[in-house]
Amino acid sequence: MSFAGKVWQLLVGIKDGLVLVFMLLFFALLFAILSARPSPGMVRDGALLIELDGYVVEEKSEVDPFEALLSQEAPVAEYEVGELVRALDSAAGDDRIKAVALDLSRFLGGGQVHLQEVGEAMARVRDAGKPVLAYSFAYGDDALHLAAHANEVWLDPIGGAVVGGPGGAYVFYGDLLREFDVNVRVYRVGTHKAATEPYTRSGFSDEARENIAGLYGAMWEEWKANVKKARPAADLDLVTKDPVGWVQAAKGDLAQAALAAGLVDKLGDRIEWGARVAEVAGEDDWSNEPGAFASTDLGPYLVDTKPGKHGRPIGIITVAGDVVDGDAGPGMAGGDRIFELLDDALDDDLAALVVRIDTPGGSVTASEQIRRAILRHKALDIPVAISMANVAASAGYSIASTGDRIFAQPETITGSIGVFAVIPTFEKTAARYGIHSDGVRTTPLSGQPDLIAGFTPEVDAILQASVEDTYADFISHVSKGRKIAPERLDAIAQGKVWDGGMARQLGLVDQFGGLEDALEWAAQQAGLKDGDWYPKRLGSTPSSYDSLIRQLLVDSAEDTDGAADVFAVLARQRNATLALVARDLDRLARVQSVQAYCLECPREARAGNATGLDGWLAVLGRLFATN
């Protein structure tokens, strides 16, 4: 055989070997994906085990597989409130489910409205005669909110509980920016629009402080009322009015202090809690591990109990997270993505549309895209209902004003009708380090915007006029949608933020209720009876690789994020604060449009921010560019 023939055989052999390797890798990956996906076949008699090792959210964020694998960190788990409520309601009437076991050892929190919705679903399980047993190593406000609705609340003997209440410190950068001679140019309308204050002041203005104090006071009263109703034995006055005396009376034993105050029922580790669950739900025939009990995980149970589709669809579009320009999301309210989903649904013969909002606001241009898309559905003469979750403020309220009827909860934060833009320029900083600029202008707008030399007075005037015009449009939209005179609306606007109860009194909200109430109202308005309609979520479901990514990385996450005591709970709050500082500075530097954003609304460090090139700097650049 010639030398060339031998080389050819070698190359063919290498090719065949590579094909075999790639085929093995492909089928291994396919098997991993299929095995990671929850299956109805995994449902069995026993307890419904809900291990909340992350956040309760309105809409899950999309996992970037490459970023997750490169970082070697498991993405923070997220649990959609609608899925949790559906699972609990199904469990209440499911003969296979004997109890609900709620493990909050790694729970990171959620919005007050979401937690109350899950808590009420837990209460419905209790009313069905099925015990709910909660366990955690340590309880904070959010975990206690949920656990209060359980029949038995278990706490590890070396754990504890703390109740802080809403509120806390905000970080202000005004003095820091002045130290570096950064000129923070603020364009705003709204006396109470506090979102710009962190960049210009060292503390809140009197107007902002008054508004925030009233809002948080109302939220605190709602939290106490909800917990006290679910758990009458809890002595919240003892825990919150004299926390030092409460702990000292238990000689520093936080677990005994929680037990004495009625925050928990029993002290025991997870094995003892598991043995108790086994008493009511059955022994685990598949495992001999201490504390094991017969159970079904949340994922397979959701797949097994997926509701059917009968009758006409009622669309549900979710606007969750910061409203931003572009295709961001799910988990972020990208204007392009949401308006495209709404426009695609125009041909779906929807009987009605429900808009579920959980956002503190954001980009005015993105919110206007979404608002106009909703109006295109309204033009089809179908009912449009708005369901507010934890927060629907600023740009979120602009979107909400399109609805025929607005539903909210007493704990919902809304309002903040006001707009602003913040643009830093560095002319003083540059001069400080000997950097100067010079040039020739043919018009007052030549070379603008100039972040180094600063803006001309004409640019400042144009930008402020634009913000004022945007505010006038905001007032006009809400006035038409809510049928409130512009003069009266302007008086209750000015960036003020309200809880759901006050918003209802002011006419910004029509009635109390959750998503199910909004759906039932929409069905009634469409002339549909029960069984003649089904809810249809507009948007894609999470990718199947999400569970695979978590499965691949979960071991390393468990090594660094085990059960947390009270000190670890406080450390998480520190880390969240640091993440929010980074987010605030990113918001200052990022290219973005005019903003309608609520500073007072609770902020979650879990969400990232999309960055787009179609914001105010890009628009100004195109507007003022010369060739």
Q: What tens digit of pLDDT does each residue of 502-517 get? A: 999 999 999 999 999 9
What kind of fold does domain 312-434+443-537 have according to CATH? Answer: 2-enoyl-CoA Hydratase; Chain A, domain 1 (3.90.226)
Q: How confident is the model at residue 383 (pLDDT cuts 50, 70, 90)?
A: very high
pLDDT for 553: 52
Q: What is the pLDDT of residue 438?
A: 82
The neighbour count for residue 36, using CB atoms within 10 Å, is 17
In sequence order, the 6+-apart residues with CB closer than 8 A to the CB of 320 are: 57, 58, 59, 329, 330, 331, 332, 333, 356, 357, 358, 359, 389
* Two tokens, residue 332: 């972020």
Q: What is the pLDDT of residue 55?
A: 93
> 583 versus 407: which is more confidently predicted?
407
What is the CA 295 to chain-centroid distance, rounded?
Answer: 29
According to the model, what pLDDT value does residue 613 have? 36
pLDDT over 70 percentage in the chain = 80
Write the DSSP symbol of residue 359. Answer: E
- Are residues 569 and 254 in contact, defined by beta-carbon separation less than 8 angstroms? no
- 3-class SS at 420? strand
pLDDT category at 556 given cuts 50, 70, 90 is very low
The answer on pLDDT for 334 being more than 90 is yes
Phi, psi (degrees; rounded to nearest 5) at 472? -60, -40
Residue 367: which of 334, 416, 406 has the closest Cα?
334
Average confidence score pLDDT of the chain? 84
Confidence class for position 606, pLDDT limits 50, 70, 90: very low
pLDDT tens-digit series, residues 51-76:
999 999 999 987 766 665 565 566 77
Which is more confidently placed, 403 or 442? 403
Q: How far apart are CA 349 and CA 383, in angstroms?
A: 13
Q: Which of 9-13, 118-122, 333-337, 467-471 is the least confident region?
A: 9-13
DSSP 324-355: ESSS--SSSEEHHHHHHHHHHGGGS--SEEEE
- Strand, coil or helix: 56: strand
27 or 198, which is more confident: 198
More confident residue, 49 or 5: 49
pLDDT (0 to 100) of residue 1: 54
| pLDDT reported for residue 72 | 59
What is the pLDDT, as a whole number, of residue 592? Answer: 57
Which of these, 558, 469, 466, 610, lies nearest to 64 by C-alpha position? 610
Average pLDDT (512-523) is 96
Model confidence at 412: pLDDT above 60: yes
pLDDT score of 67:
64
pLDDT at 25: 65
Eight-class DSSP state of 444 = T
pLDDT confidence tier of residue 27, bands split at 50, 70 and 90: low
Distance CA 3, CA 247 (A): 87
Q: What is the CATH number of domain 44-163+231-304?
A: 3.90.226.10
Q: Describe the crossing of helices 206-230 and 112-127 by its angle, rounded to 10 degrees.
A: 10
User: What is the pLDDT confidence band of residue 450, given thresholds at 50, 70 and 90?
Assistant: confident
Tell me: pLDDT of 560 over 70: no
610: pLDDT confidence band, cut at 50, 70 and 90? very low
User: For residue 605, is pLDDT > 60?
Assistant: no
Residue 402 has pLDDT above 90, yes or no: yes
Phi and psi dihedrals of 406, rounded to 5? -110, 125
Is the CA virtual torsion 578, 584, 585, 586 positive or negative? positive
pLDDT band at 442 (very low <50, low <70, confident <90, very high): confident
pLDDT average, residue stretch 557-565 = 50
Query: Which tops the pLDDT comparison, 206 or 16?
Result: 206
Q: How confident is the model at residue 5 (pLDDT cuts 50, 70, 90)?
A: low
What is the per-residue pLDDT for 16? 73
pLDDT tens for 249-276 read: 999 999 999 999 999 999 999 999 999 9
pLDDT at 117: 97
What's the order of all strands across the beta sheet hosting 333-334? Answer: 183-189, 419-425, 595-597, 361-363, 323-324, 333-334
Does residue 607 have a pLDDT over 90?
Answer: no
Tell me: the pLDDT tens digits for 270-298? 999 999 999 999 998 888 889 999 999 99
Confidence of residue 136 (pLDDT cuts 50, 70, 90): very high
Q: What is the arithmetic mean of pLDDT over 173-177?
A: 90
Three-state secondary structure of 280-325: HHCCCCCCCCCCCCCEEEHHHHHHHCCCCCCCEEEEEEEEECCEEC
**How far apart are the C-alpha atoms of 123 and 116, rounded to whole Å?**
10
pLDDT over threshold 60, residue 441: yes
CB 453 within 8 A of CB 437: yes
108-122, 172-186, 223-237: the lowest-pLDDT one: 172-186
The confidence band for 29, taking pLDDT boundaries of 50, 70 and 90, is: low
pLDDT in tens, 471-508: 999 999 999 999 999 999 988 888 889 999 999 999 99
Per-residue pLDDT band at 617 (split at 50, 70, 90): very low
pLDDT at 557: 43
183 forms bridges with which residues in the sheet?
425
pLDDT at 43: 85
Average pLDDT over residues 158-164: 92
Distance of alpha carbon 21 from alpha carbon 604, whole angstroms: 44
pLDDT band at 454 (very low <50, low <70, confident <90, very high): confident
What does the pLDDT average to over 562-567?
A: 58
Inform me whether the pLDDT recorded for 620 exceeds 60. Answer: no
